[in-house]
């Protein structure tokens, strides 16, 4: 966690700077804009999440392991979290992650990151029956 602290401080500082920048140009409408983008983003993330959930259920019903759908669902979950965080940069990241082409690339990054953790022995699965 200590390694990420400067990143979080920088992120918050950039969010505040963006908020002040937009406040300077559009005034009190800035607050309404942040709320609207958060609500719109939450709606879009929920809609795409339901589509991915349906795809995962369909793959399970055919007897397939829904690995891609689960990873894509994780990316949509992170996009939704970014969209619910008030701020322009977090909304931008959330909306970018909801774009299907970018979401597929992010899914591959998550896959290779998990694979690297698993191969290094720092990440493992436990199954119980």
* pLDDT tens per residue across span 4-49: 888 889 988 998 898 888 888 888 888 888 888 888 888 888 888 8
- Cβ atoms of 47 and 83 within 8 Å: the answer is no
Report in angstroms the alpha-carbon separations of 109 from 17, 43, 61, 86, 90.
Answer: 29, 25, 27, 25, 19
Per-residue confidence at 101, pLDDT binned at 50, 70, 90? Answer: very high
**Full-model pTM:** 0.77
Distance CA 109, CA 105 (A): 6
Domain spans, the chain:
2-120
Residue reference for tokens 């993330």: 45
Q: How confident is the prediction for the chain on average, in pLDDT?
A: 85
Q: Is the dihedral of CA 118, 9, 108, 34 positive or negative?
A: positive
């Amino acid at each position: 966690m200590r390694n990420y602290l400067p990143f979080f401080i920088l992120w918050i500082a950039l969010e505040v700077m963006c908020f002040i920048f937009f406040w300077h140009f559009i005034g009190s409408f800035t607050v309404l804009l942040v709320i609207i983008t958060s609500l719109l983003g939450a709606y879009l993330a929920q809609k795409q999440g339901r589509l991915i959930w349906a795809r995962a259920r369909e793959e399970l019903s055919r007897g397939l392991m829904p690995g891609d759908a689960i990873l894509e669902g994780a990316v949509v979950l992170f996009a939704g979290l970014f969209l619910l965080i008030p701020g322009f940069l977090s909304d931008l990241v959330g909306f970018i992650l909801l774009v299907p082409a970018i979401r597929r690339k992010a899914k591959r990054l998550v896959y290779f990151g998990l694979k690297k953790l698993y191969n290094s022995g720092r990440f493992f699965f436990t199954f119980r029956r």
